[in-house]
Chains A and B, each alone.
Chain A
Amino acid sequence: MTTPPITFADFEPGSPLGSHVEACAPALAKSWQSIFGSADAGSAAQGAGIAVVLAMRAYLAVVSPRPPGNIQARQRFQVHGLPRAGEIVRSEVRCLDKQVKRERFYVDLQVQGSGDDGRVLYTAVMSLIWAR
């Protein structure tokens, strides 16, 4: 039996949705460089880019299954610190808000990632148009 996708009605503003723990593995850096180039390998830009990747992976792992066709309308992303190579990053996902605007379903989700020493690395708020 397949689990039905999460719907707009399922989101409760203010509620935590779950957490995701993942290592900042060398494979992520290698994949990032395959897209953006290896000239800045090990750079702060790469570290911040991987922080965005970790936020996306956490959201996708926690908020699942999703209906196909969701679209990001807005992204707020605050870098507090950069993940170190190999570091274990714990990301907490919560629903901040949901609204219906112009017959579209908007959901605001916050993903906050912390390093293995507890320091906050990033806070992302993604505004999604949730597919029906």
Chain B
Amino acid sequence: MNQLPETLAPTQLTITPEVIAAYAELTQDFNPIHLDAEFAAKTLMGGVIAHGTMSIGLIWQALENSIGAAAFADAHLDIRFVNPVRVGETLVAGGRLRADDPRSYDVWVRAGQHDGDRLIGSLSLAATQTTGETP
């Protein structure tokens, strides 16, 4: 296996009501906690939140930009949604190679203006090469 880069190149996405609506349509996830401010205000989230899995797309982009398509041959992501993503936030996804495992990254998605983790976890790659065909 070739040596992996120390970090994943950051990627970002700004969350707007239009982005949330588009992702709801794409996934068919019309949970009112993402779309209905009045409903969401009464939940434990206290307001509208973006779909958690939207952040995964950013991690995939960071992975491809840093390593290439071959990284997806066997990629295992394990993430926790530790803080809600709100409208108006700009999310930045990134990762750092773990010192104790040369095939795994600590990954995160943070909100730029508040510098707070929204998602944290790990991304493990198997038999990764720095170049290669799409799996």
Interface residue count on the A side (C-beta < 8 Å): 36
Tell me if B19 and A35 are in contact (CB < 8 A): yes
Interface residues of A (CB under 8 A from B): 28, 31-32, 34-36, 40, 43-49, 52-53, 56-57, 60-61, 66, 68-82
Task: Pick the residue among B33, B58, B81, B134 that contacts A73 (CB under 8 A).
Answer: B81
Tell me if B57 and A52 are in contact (CB < 8 A): yes
Contact A69 B57, CB 8 Å, known A35-B22, A47-B134? no
Contact A77 B77, CB 8 Å, known A32-B26, A45-B57? yes
A-B Cβ contacts below 8 A, count: 119
Closest CB pairs A-B (n = 8): A44-B69, A45-B60, A45-B64, A56-B27, A49-B57, A31-B26, A72-B52, A44-B72
B4 on the A face (CB < 8 A): no
Least distance between A80 CB and chain B CB atoms (Å)? 7
